Structure 1
Amino acid sequence: MIGGFISKSKFATISITGGKCSLNCFYCGSKYISTMEGTMGVEEFEKTVRKLNSRGVRGFLVSGGFDQNGRLPVDEFIPVMRKLKSELGVIFNLHPGLQDRKTIESMRDVVDMVDFEFAYSPGAYSSKGIREPRERYVKVLEDLIEYGPEYIVPHIMLGLPKDSSDYIEEEINEVSKFKPYLLNFLVMIPTPGTPSRMIRIDTSSIIPLIEYGSKVMNGRTSMGCMRPYSIKEDLDRYVVSKGLVQRIANPHHKVVEEFNLKLYDACCSLPEKYLEEFEL
């Protein structure tokens, strides 16, 4: 059964850098992290988690802006996350970026799942403008699978103008070698105030790539929360009707009704063992 995931009251997103990011990505320009619950420092982070938990929030996506090497500055937050997990029993999802092996190992008993943007294709890599070589994405994914938390979910961005179908298929093949728990697809949103604002997204170029990924991953795929509203209803209906994904984030309301989707109040990478706790 395909599940729909909508973060409402049990799951919250926190940016540990506030609205700051050293990258100026083609499709973001720090606009997306500015919508998150912002904290700047370990003490404020702890207070925010405790406050939200007291209001019924059970899971937290820890995200934020990256440095110029594509890395979330998470090291100093790991000890307090460990304490909060022990005391409150909360679930942590993390957007870590390109971490080193030591940090990845420290995450193992703290973070429940990792959302890892695999910006390995030429289009995705160039949109980031980071200092690290493109091959670092492969090495970090390998380390995450080998030494990191149990549930690793690579994210692949579709719709970037410098990418071809061949590039994305290569990216999917590279990810599938590591046999991750789930592969998540995002679709670039042309965003006002960024260079992406003039791009038009065509579903006819997106769907074959999701079909290919679903085939390579034996259906262990999901549709992430980033996709343009202009194509959302048609895209959601297609991937659900064809069974191309196991999970879909923020499904279009008409698709929810049409297919009677079971809904969960969480990020779509939530491990199956926690699903019952987050049913809507």
Structure 2
Amino acid sequence: MAGKTGRGLKGDLRLARELSWSNFGRNVVFYAPSFAYYKGLGAPRSPLDFPSVSVTGGGCALNCDHCGGRLLRTMIPAPTPEELIKVCEAIEAGGGAGCLISGGCLPNGAVPLRNFAKAIKEIRRRSRLKLVVHTGLIDRETARELGEAGIDAALIDVVGSEATLREIYHLNASLKDFDNSLRFLREAGIPVVPHVLVGIHHGRIKGEYNALKLIARHDPAALILIVFFPVKGTRMEGDDPPRLFEVAKFMVDARIALPNKPIALGCARPKGAYRAALDSFAIEAGVNAVAFPTKEAVELAKALRLKISYSRVCCSQIYENLVR
């Protein structure tokens, strides 16, 4: 693991970078889907390029300390199957490439997708949209129905600490529930792209390494790393993000744990000087993709003579987009 090799952080970053380049070539993809404001890709973007859609509107039973449902307010509401179909029709009519279907959670940690499976299957039949679904915890039958509906990928935040589940997410669940969810999605034939939220326990590293070990057992299509940042109006608005050094070490360890899997730095992470430094660490660690990259990340990628690609879809699609 990083920090225990005697190489120091720079040496560990170099090791991770060379491992990534040996397996994927000197490539990086920069993503800018339309569910967040960004000006970095040059040409104007449409709000319908790749938006997020919530099947619960602004509702979430968990009311997690770090979010409090506020992130749902940025999504297009589609609380019925009929409305989801209409929203997706509008996205395609507006020239969009696809959407992230998400929503708040039920008390058991699941996004209520079961009633939307037929609608998603109909959207798949009618359109060419990329359909990426954030599932939360999921049972075997719902996973099977989403697989039959033909979704392009399932996203699931994997939490490796039961204390974090109780105290931050207000969720009475265990690591076994995440193990089962990953297994059910894989059995359904769905490309699974787990997320690890680094520093979610009040800015501290707690269960992230357990989450990484769990994910590695289930042959993910890719891994997305996101980083806690305080959201105004939530119970954790006064907390600090995790220390940059610890996040950089975790990126290195993620590459070592998953040497042959694409790794992306996702859209949820702190802004400002922290973000610029984090993005540079990510490029130094050889991550395969960065969502909404800072100019520092782009400049470093150019300085390292990486082959740069740009995309307006969700970074979860790195498992398809990355080519040697």
d(CA) in 1 for partners of 2:29, 2:179: 29
Q: Does 1:240 find its partner at 2:283?
A: yes
By how many angstroms is 1:160 displaced? 2.4
Instruction: Provide the identity percentage.
Output: 24
Cα offsets for 1:18-74 (capped at 9, x unmatched): 111111112100000111111221111111110121010121100011110011111
Q: Does 1:112 find its partner at 2:148?
A: no
Whichever residue aligns with residue 169 of structure 1, its letter is: Y
After superposition, the CA RMSD in angstroms is 2.0
Gaps of 5+ in 2: 1-26, 35-45, 303-307
3-state secondary structure, aligned to 1:200: coil
Preserved CA contact (<8 Å) 1:113 1:271: no
Preserved CA contact (<8 Å) 2:159 2:196: yes
Residue equivalent to 1:121: 161
C-alpha change, 1:166 and 1:97, in structure 2 (3 Å) is: closer
d(CA) in 2 for partners of 1:141, 1:107: 13
What aligned pairs does 1:1-280 form with structure 2 within 5 A after superposition?
Answer: 1-8=27-34, 9=46, 10-109=49-148, 110-122=150-162, 124-126=164-166, 127-149=168-190, 151-161=191-201, 165=205, 167-201=207-241, 202-218=243-259, 220=261, 221-230=263-272, 231-243=274-286, 245-260=287-302, 261-270=308-317, 272-273=319-320
d(CA) in 1 for partners of 2:206, 2:171: 23
3-state secondary structure, aligned to 2:79: coil
The number of residues matched between the two structures is 274
Of 186-195 and 163-172, deviating more is 163-172
Whichever residue aligns with residue 310 of structure 2, its letter is: L
3-state secondary structure, aligned to 1:2: strand
Whichever residue aligns with residue 98 of structure 1, its letter is: L
Over alpha carbons, which structure has the higher Rg? 2
Whichever residue aligns with residue 62 of structure 1, its letter is: I
By how many angstroms is 1:89 displaced? 1.8
d(CA) in 2 for partners of 1:275, 1:54: 27
Cα offsets for 1:111-142 (capped at 9, x unmatched): 11011111232454231112333421111111
TM-score by length of 1: 0.91
By how many angstroms is 1:269 displaced? 0.8
Whichever residue aligns with residue 256 of structure 1, its letter is: V
Whichever residue aligns with residue 155 of structure 2, its letter is: D
3-state secondary structure, aligned to 1:61: strand
C-alpha change, 1:224 and 1:106, in structure 2 (3 Å) is: same
By how many angstroms is 1:274 displaced? 5.9
3-state secondary structure, aligned to 1:198: coil
Whichever residue aligns with residue 33 of structure 1, its letter is: L
Gaps of 5+ in 1: none
Preserved CA contact (<8 Å) 1:123 1:160: no
Whichever residue aligns with residue 28 of structure 2, its letter is: I
C-alpha change, 1:25 and 1:166, in structure 2 (3 Å) is: closer
